[in-house]
Copies of this chain bind each other. A is one copy, B any other.
Amino acid sequence: MIKVGIVGGTGYTGVELLRLLATHSDVELTAITSRKEDGMPVSEMFPSLRGRVDIAFSSPDKARLTECDVVFFATPHGVAMAQAAELLAAGVKVIDLAADFRLQDIASFEKWYKMPHGCPDLLKEAAYGLVELNRDAIRSAKIVGNPGCYPTTMQLGFAPLLKAGVIDAGHLIADCKSGVSGAGRKAEVATLFSEAGDNFKAYGVSGHRHSPETLERLSLLTKEKVGLIFTPHLTPMIRGMHSTLYARLTKEIDNAALQKLFEDAYANEPFVDVMPFGSHPETRSTRASNMLRIALHRPTENGTAGDTVIVLVVQDNLVKGASGQAVQCMNLMFGLSETTGLLHVPVLP
């Protein structure tokens, strides 16, 4: 059994890790930290886990994380980079669900996250945890930076088109909509039920941290300069993310060939579902599961196929967009079957 520690288990990515790991056949939950809740049984804070998770929170200094095989950081940005070195030295693998190990460009990290990077050397060793585009590196990594939720959808949606070189890489548009759980379990007025409910808005339109991450990764897929307009929105649902991606085609290509690009790219992927051309995937078709679904559209102009391709991408932001992806990485890092513990059927309705 793999001994697992979780640092910061009181947020949504933390409790989702607990849900997933509670039924994972190969792990043993060894430690979960929260300075504030030291001594409180996890199932007291989250009664959904009564009878299923029997451990209590412990303060970080008491938790014997170095005895774990792997430690997940479900913490704010900046925490993992302060503790990773010690864990790695003790032979513990690290998976960070925050941004500390996502960006290789340190200047960009420091600009967008407004803190110095604490361990530039470790960063070089870190693998970016988007399995479908980086499987080999993750398999052998000791430290993984788990992708942001939006970047997961943008990369998996644009990648086949960029790799094939059929679109104008310099003018990508991603109009993305997230459920409110993406904002985390912090006490804030803006995400109160009475503020975020029955309401829709964009935010961070002039600039968002997930842009540099996405740009850095997309740039690895093409020799062209990548340009991206990324517009995040908050939609009144708890879980779920819907990204509507727009690209201009630069080569003649018919719809069947477009579809084939995606089907080939993801033919063997257990967690990426390419739906029939012209489908409208719903976020709930992925709810509480690690699936991500993609569908292509190409609006016509005067009866002929236009030059814009639209890629619709849906996922559960807390699973494939966060904790499920992290478990998928763990499975790879420990030589398990990639789908172990992740075969939940989406919850509908």
Residues of A in contact with B (beta carbons under 8 Å apart): 12, 15, 19, 22-23, 46-52, 171, 173, 175, 177, 179-181, 183, 185-189, 191-203, 205-207, 227, 229-231, 233, 235-240, 242, 244, 246, 248, 273, 275, 278-289, 293, 297-301, 306, 308, 310, 312, 314, 318, 343-349
A235 B285 Cβ-Cβ under 8 A: no
Interface pair B231/A310, CB less than 8 Å apart: yes
Give the residues in chain B near A347, CB-CB below 8 Å: 19, 48, 287-288, 347
If A233-B242, A236-B236 touch, whether A181 touches B194 (CB-CB below 8 Å) is yes
| A240-B284 in contact (CB<8A) | no
Contact in complex: B198, A299 (CB < 8 Å): no
Residues of B within 8 A of A15 (CB): 348-349
Complex interface: chain B residues within 8 A of A206 (CB): 278, 297-300
Contacts of A298 in B (CB 8 A): 206
Partner of A12, one of B177, B312, B349: B349
Q: Which of A50, A51, A175, A248 has the most CB of B within 10 A?
A: A175
CA distance A321 to B305 in the complex (A): 30
CA distance A345 to B22 in the complex (A): 8
Are A285 and B48 in contact, CB atoms less than 8 angstroms apart? yes
In addition to A47-B293, A198-B237, A318-B349, 16 A-B residue pairs with Cβ atoms within 8 Å of each other are A19-B346, A19-B348, A50-B275, A51-B273, A180-B193, A193-B197, A197-B349, A198-B239, A199-B237, A199-B240, A200-B240, A200-B314, A205-B299, A231-B244, A233-B244, A287-B347
CB distance from A310 to the nearest CB of B (A): 6
Given contacts A49-B345, A205-B297, A280-B202, contact A238 B287 (CB under 8 A): no
How many chain copies?
4
Residue of B at shortest CB range from A297? B205
User: CA of A181 to CA of B192 in the docked complex: distance in angstroms?
Assistant: 9
Please provide the 4 A-B residue pairs with the shortest distance between their CB atoms, ordered closest to farther. A48-B346, A175-B175, A194-B349, A201-B282
Q: Is the CB of A48 within 8 A of B301?
A: no
**Which residues of B have CB within 8 Å of A191?**
192-194
- The chain B residue with its CB closest to the CB of A51 is B273
- Find out whether the CB atom of B187 lies under 8 angstroms from the CB atom of A189: yes
Q: Is the CB of A233 within 8 A of B193?
A: no
Q: Are B52 and A202 in contact (CB under 8 A)?
A: no
The complex places the Cα of A48 from the Cα of B293 at a distance, in Å, of: 10
- B238 near A349: Cβ-Cβ < 8 Å: yes
Q: Write the nearest CB–CB distance from A345 to chain B, whole angstroms.
A: 5
**Chain B residues, CB < 8 A from A244:** 175, 202, 231, 233
Given A46-B348, A173-B173, A347-B347, A193 and B238 touching (CB < 8 A)?
yes
The complex places the Cα of A207 from the Cα of B49 at a distance, in Å, of 27
Q: How far is the CA of A151 from the CA of B51 in the complex (A)?
A: 25
Out of B187, B246, B287, name the residue touching A192 (CB < 8 Å): B187
- In the bound complex, residues from chain B placing their C-beta under 8 Å from that of A308 are 171, 173, 229
Known contacts: A52-B345, A173-B173, A244-B233. The answer to whether A283 contacts B185 by CB under 8 A is: no
CB <8 Å contact, B200 and A282: yes
CB atoms of B239 and A193 under 8 A apart: no
Enumerate chain B residues within 8 angstroms of A196, measured Cβ to Cβ: 193
Contact A198 B343 (CB under 8 A): no
